[in-house]
Amino acid sequence: MSQGKKGNFIGDGTSFLNTPTSPTKMVATRFSSIRSSISHDPFDDDLDSALMKIDVGGEVKELVSASSRSYSNRSISSDDMIPCGQVVSKIDNGNETDNDENDEEEEDQDVPPESSSSEDEVSIGKLHGFGDYATYFQNKTAKQQKADKDYLEWETKRRGGSTERPIFSGCVIHVNGHTVPSINEIHRLVILYGGKFIHYLHNKGAATHIICDKLTPRKMIQFKNYKVVKAQWLVDSISKGELLDWSDYRVIEDVVYGQQRLGFSKLEDKIEEEEVEKQVQSEIIMPNDPESDDEMIPLTQSQNEQNEEVTLSQSGEAHIEELNTNFELTANRQLDARNPDFLEHFFAYSRLHHLSTWKAELRARFLKKILNETTPSQEKKKYDVRVVFHVDFDCFFAAASALNRPDLDINKDPIAVSHGQRTSDVASCNYIARSKGVKNGMWMAQARKLCPELIILDYDFEAYERHSNAMYDYLIQSEIFDAIFPVSVDEVLLDATSYCNANADGVTSTVNALATKLRSDIFSKTSCTVSVGASKNVLLAKLSLRRAKPNGQYYLHENFEEFLENIPARNLPGIGGSIVRKLTAAIGADVNHVPLISDLGKLSLMKLKSIFGEKTGIKLFNYARGIDDTSIDIRRKGDALKRKSVSVDVNYGIRFDTVSQLDIFLIDISKELYRRLIRLTMCGTSITLRLARRAPEAPIEPEKFLGMGHCVFANKSAKFGVPTNDWGIIGSELKALYRMLNIPVHELRGISITMTNLEDVENIKKNRQMKLPFALNTGENDSNKLKPSPVSSPRKFEEENDIDWEVFNCLPLSIQLEQREELLRRGIIPPEVDSHPQPIMESTPTRGTSKVYMQQLIPKMEEEGVSYTKVIESPTRRSPTKRKLQSPSYKQTSPSKRRQSPIKSRLQSPSRMEIPRPNYSTYDETGSYDESVFNALPSSVQKEVLFTLEEKAKNKMAYGHHKSAPVLDSKWLSRKHPLVKLPLFQNKPTTIGSMKSLISGWISSSLLQGGPHLDDVNMMLDYIEKLLQQDNLLRSMSIFQHIKTRLFCESISFESVGSPYTENQDTKALVEVGFKEWRQIIVSSIVPMIQRYCIEHDIEVDTST
């Protein structure tokens, strides 16, 4: 559970950038080479040779400066363009020392842990987080030991001569796989405490210890002669100050990616269950983790998973079959979403996930910083010239990753960062590669075609984060700027109006000097170059930045029109492919024509508005004239920066064979969403499920390994009625939503879930109403964090006949849900569920589903290639943007595309499922419901309950109290969703017996939920209809009779004294509703259907109820 617990680079020891675990294989060697001080200035004009000599620990090493000249000989004519590579070392040093004290005092919480020992720093110079580490050029393996020695000396000097105990003296340590702490940190610690560190295991026996938190079976064999220990061994040894016995930290077996965790596969391993259990436990409760109490999710989760295991292994032959399948797949490393550890692994490797996470964290951080500011922002003086800076690292990933390879020259070798060779994306490529036509986002196959000698580097997410933090820390502590607005991990907007206007040298020269200084300072802290664009607004600053790149600066303050006219419109912010296409069409140009800003300027405001809409039209009109009033002041943006949604998207590795596999995954992403919501202390009221389905014409397997290929999208959303963040509730809802979308599991290629209508838990607490399920922990402790209550024993509930719902509702939601399931299972809430064996066990008894679906119960049919009568699809078939990569011409550009949708959508059922929340007091019968129980139900169930109540109320109003059999109206009918066509059962080896037992189970469970699910009812009605169409009246009647019989039996059981049904008033009420629902179905749907058939065929049957 280390995900999201790393990256203490900034702040009061708590994580700032919540970086997902980064895999070791791409982690940089931070300390492989050392330089004791920054003695050169890379921007020195004299560095024409682009080479400089630096003394590295007595050894002369050639380094390439980052002078922009080696990039290209591009010339910029503007007077304001400062030639790249100015000497600014004086500013650099002076400023740094000046700001140090301020920094220490005022921004105390921003001091990274690494630099906490301030006296040490005085003697050696300021440590800016990781900035100084980053200035060490990385070395090759051969130089490793030397570099380590240098580091030790440097560190010793930094600490004023004191050294740590050589605990690891004599130890040669190698790290394998992902560890906590990271490989870099372990490396540093090993060196610091007298050990040796090796990166590669070239010769057998070279290492004395291998540190490894997780071990794949293959590695297990490979390392069997080594002392393989957990990273904790190192941590504990250091904290104890002595070398601890390694065997106490032996890595025996752990849940690893690529290894099945289901009980079945564990039988194969000769490992004692207890041992594993213990290790799992120790992983869950991490006392050293400063945030561990903020997240006891792992505990809940793990327990659930264990539960799942148990239920799985008990659930009969169907699952053994599935287990076998899994096991086989596992044997050759299952890399898709069927793997239980897929999600964690995927996010650890996903660059886009990292980018998004970083961005969100940065936003939150700066927003919080503003909110915490006690001093009200001084009213700013009005200056004539607004000055906005846009700062961006040059080819960020490529530059940062290249630092791990001292043998490469970012200015000479074509470099790209990517995971693979062929269909893998180029995340970032340097300017050499770009000169060959390689672009960010391009596939490797194409990139290599354009540039065969392209050098591919691994990602190093930790390094990116480090450099980013170094930059932001620096910008904050400089206290130059009126506003700092983070755009992304490598990009920032700055307002330097006050500083530049106040300076006596004049605005222009001050801006240029400041830009130079920024570039120099940031380079010295990160060894990565940044470019700076500056102008009077955000738009122009951005365009200037583009002009400045790479490794340059540009201040645009005059001749704006001239500057703008020849820039492609595409370069404007917010103008993407779609708008450009419309624009091209509007100016009547050829498709291949690149529309320029000057082209845009020719269009009237009216015209622009009519093509692009009100806001976009105005924006484009202004952009064409260099006008932009976007604010970058977080203070003024205020609410605009407040989060409006939280989502988890996975459009990679989505491959399922069965619905139960999908259900497990849906629970997994629900848990992920829950974790994110908890971190944000937020709840939401709406959930949206977005599914990507393989497009009909797309091949089963797309070109990209485990990619999504060409897909069609479908969305469906639901409201919870009350805010929640509980993964159980979310998971149940998602399962329900999936079933409504009618997409066969094996066609799925992508899954996204989004929580909206967010509310802060604190706010909810403040003005909470009665019994809101999230109103936990309202204790006096003003804890900011949502701390779930300790798990209480299920036994407590088992022994109570009457459940105290008050107590129940004070439990964390996930526990509530667990308990609820437990109660269900033990027959306390729904005593019947257990006594009736669940029919047809294809569906996994996954937790959280409190609704039994017939669809779920008979999915076998669905998977056997059944045709569909109607399938809900997204009214608008959106072609995913990614398609552009594969077939640029795919996207339809017809501007009328959208206008069609109204008609279409009218023909189709609404894709949003409304769950009405009527005023309870309106209906007296609702008084018998405990709202807290109601609230805890999945909304799909709530919907049913409310609907029944509403109908009842309506009928009551219309016909008075005595009207007993409410009629179905058109509204009810219109609520029907198109359904999957049922397979013809008689062609299958389905017996009427199995059909009956299925129905029995369905009826008994549905009663406890206030009636059957609408979809299931429709399924059944469809089925009966089909039977009748085939003149199979016998079977229709048989089903009808069976339903009647079952309901009769249930009602007897219900009314008998002491029945578990009547144990609880709420259950009783729900069951009553359930009976009425069923009655309604029989009277209004089944009977008329059969009667109609009989009349048509002149048959007489008994349809009395």
Nearest Cα neighbor of 198 from 31, 354, 60 is: 31
Question: Is residue 397 at the binding interface for ligand DCP, with CB under 6 A as the rule?
Answer: yes
Pick 300 or 350: Cβ nearer DNA: 350
Q: How far is the CB of 425 from DNA (least distance, A)?
A: 4
Pick 156 or 886: Cβ nearer DNA: 886
Residue with tokens 């010339």: 75
In this structure, are strands 415-417 and 428-429 parallel, antiparallel, or unpaired? antiparallel
Under DSSP, the state recorded for 631 is -
CB 218 within 8 A of CB 147: no
User: In terms of C-beta distances under 8 Å and separation of at least 24 residues, what long-range contacts does 558-567 make, across chains too?
Assistant: 558/80, 559/78, 560/626, 561/626, 563/78, 563/626, 564/597, 564/598, 564/601, 564/624, 564/625, 564/626, 565/596, 565/597, 565/598, 565/601, 566/596, 566/597, 566/598, 567/543, 567/596, 567/597
Question: Is residue 579 at the binding interface for DNA, with CB under 7 A as the rule?
Answer: yes
Question: Is residue 427 at the binding interface for ligand DCP, with CB under 6 A as the rule?
Answer: yes
Residue with tokens 């059909």: 995
Among 199, 359, 436, 439, binds DNA (CB under 7 A): 359
CA dihedral of residues 1043, 1046, 1050, 1056 (deg, nearest 10): 130
Q: How far is the CB of 356 from ligand DCP (least distance, A)?
A: 11
Question: Is residue 403 at the binding interface for ligand DCP, with CB under 6 A as the rule?
Answer: no
Binding site partner of 576, from DNA, ligand DCP, none, Cβ cut-off 5-8 A by kind: DNA
CB 555 within 8 A of CB 512: yes
Binding part of the chain for ligand DCP, among 388-396, 601-609, 1009-1017, 1095-1103 by CB under 6 A, reads 388-396
Binding site partner of 688, from ligand DCP, DNA, none, Cβ cut-off 5-8 A by kind: DNA
Residues 452-511 close enough to bind ligand DCP by CB under 6 A: 490-491
CB 1033 within 8 A of CB 1093: yes
Binding site partner of 397, from DNA, ligand DCP, none, Cβ cut-off 5-8 A by kind: ligand DCP
The values of phi and psi at residue 55, to 5°, are -85, 115
Q: How far is the CB of 348 from ligand DCP (least distance, A)?
A: 15
Binding part of the chain for DNA, among 54-62, 286-294, 349-357, 767-775 by CB under 7 A, reads 349-357
Nearest Cα neighbor of 650 from 444, 359, 349 is: 349
Binding residues with ligand DCP: total (CB under 6 A): 16
Question: Is residue 702 at the binding interface for DNA, with CB under 7 A as the rule?
Answer: yes
The helix/strand/coil state of 15 is: coil
Binding site partner of 349, from ligand DCP, DNA, none, Cβ cut-off 5-8 A by kind: DNA
Among 876, 994, 1038, 1059, binds DNA (CB under 7 A): 876
Among 113, 576, 638, 918, binds DNA (CB under 7 A): 576
Question: Is residue 428 at the binding interface for ligand DCP, with CB under 6 A as the rule?
Answer: yes
Binding site partner of 773, from DNA, ligand DCP, none, Cβ cut-off 5-8 A by kind: none
Pick 31 or 347: Cβ nearer DNA: 347
Question: Is residue 704 at the binding interface for DNA, with CB under 7 A as the rule?
Answer: yes
Question: Is residue 396 at the binding interface for ligand DCP, with CB under 6 A as the rule?
Answer: yes
Binding site partner of 810, from ligand DCP, DNA, none, Cβ cut-off 5-8 A by kind: none
The helix/strand/coil state of 1090 is: helix
Question: Is residue 393 at the binding interface for ligand DCP, with CB under 6 A as the rule?
Answer: yes
Q: How far is residue 807's CA from residue 799's CA, in Å, rounded to a whole number?
A: 15
Pick 393 or 713: Cβ nearer ligand DCP: 393
Question: Is residue 433 at the binding interface for ligand DCP, with CB under 6 A as the rule?
Answer: no
Question: Is residue 411 at the binding interface for ligand DCP, with CB under 6 A as the rule?
Answer: no
Question: Is residue 1004 at the binding interface for ligand DCP, with CB under 6 A as the rule?
Answer: no
Q: How far is residue 504's CA from residue 508's CA, in Å, rounded to a whole number?
A: 11
Binding site partner of 902, from ligand DCP, DNA, none, Cβ cut-off 5-8 A by kind: DNA
The values of phi and psi at residue 1033, to 5°, are -65, -35
Among 912, 963, 976, 988, binds DNA (CB under 7 A): 912
Q: How far is residue 222's CA from residue 174's CA, in Å, rounded to a whole number?
A: 14
CA distances from 233 to 24, 237, 246 (A): 18, 6, 7
Q: How far is the CB of 461 from ligand DCP (least distance, A)?
A: 11
Question: Is residue 440 at the binding interface for ligand DCP, with CB under 6 A as the rule?
Answer: yes
Binding site partner of 202, from DNA, ligand DCP, none, Cβ cut-off 5-8 A by kind: none
Q: How far is the CB of 59 from ligand DCP (least distance, A)?
A: 32
Residues 614-653 close enough to bind DNA by CB under 7 A: 614-617, 619, 640-653
DSSP H helical segments within 928-1013, as ranges?
A: 931-936, 939-959, 970-974, 992-1007
CB 719 within 8 A of CB 915: yes
Question: Is residue 421 at the binding interface for DNA, with CB under 7 A as the rule?
Answer: yes
The helix/strand/coil state of 583 is: helix
Structure tokens at 76: 């910029």
β-strand partners of 484: 494
Binding part of the chain for ligand DCP, among 267-275, 387-395, 497-505, 729-737 by CB under 6 A, reads 387-395
Among 76, 220, 329, 355, binds ligand DCP (CB under 6 A): 355
Question: Is residue 974 at the binding interface for DNA, with CB under 7 A as the rule?
Answer: no
Pick 392 or 465: Cβ nearer ligand DCP: 392
Question: Is residue 878 at the binding interface for DNA, with CB under 7 A as the rule?
Answer: yes
The helix/strand/coil state of 23 is: coil
Question: Is residue 254 at the binding interface for ligand DCP, with CB under 6 A as the rule?
Answer: no
Question: Is residue 347 at the binding interface for ligand DCP, with CB under 6 A as the rule?
Answer: no
The total of other beta-carbon atoms located within 10 Å of residue 937's CB is 23
The helix/strand/coil state of 250 is: strand
List CB contacts of 276: < 8 A, sequence separation 6 or more: 252, 253, 254, 266
Pick 897 or 988: Cβ nearer DNA: 897
Q: How far is residue 864's CA from residue 715's CA, in Å, rounded to a whole number?
A: 25
Binding site partner of 395, from DNA, ligand DCP, none, Cβ cut-off 5-8 A by kind: ligand DCP
Residues 476-495 close enough to bind DNA by CB under 7 A: 487-491
CA dihedral of residues 166, 168, 171, 176 (deg, nearest 10): -140
Binding site partner of 1088, from ligand DCP, DNA, none, Cβ cut-off 5-8 A by kind: none
The burial class, CB within 10 Å (0-12 / 13-18 / 19+), for 609 is middle
Question: Is residue 552 at the binding interface for ligand DCP, with CB under 6 A as the rule?
Answer: no
Q: How far is the CB of 605 from DNA (least distance, A)?
A: 12
The helix/strand/coil state of 745 is: helix
Whether the bond between 181 and the residue before it is cis, its omega within 30 degrees of 0, is yes
Question: Is residue 128 at the binding interface for ligand DCP, with CB under 6 A as the rule?
Answer: no
Binding part of the chain for ligand DCP, among 375-383, 393-401, 492-500, 824-832 by CB under 6 A, reads 393-401
H or E element: which one contains 173?
A: strand 172-175
* Length of the chain in terms of residues written: 1105
Please identify the residue of the shown chain whose CB is closest to the bound ligand DCP.
Answer: 428
Pick 388 or 736: Cβ nearer ligand DCP: 388
CA dihedral of residues 188, 193, 197, 203 (deg, nearest 10): -170
Pick 40 or 419: Cβ nearer DNA: 419
Among 158, 345, 771, 820, binds DNA (CB under 7 A): 345
Q: How far is the CB of 529 from ligand DCP (least distance, A)?
A: 9
Interface residue list for ligand DCP (CB under 6 A): 351, 355, 392-397, 427-428, 440-441, 490-491, 549-550
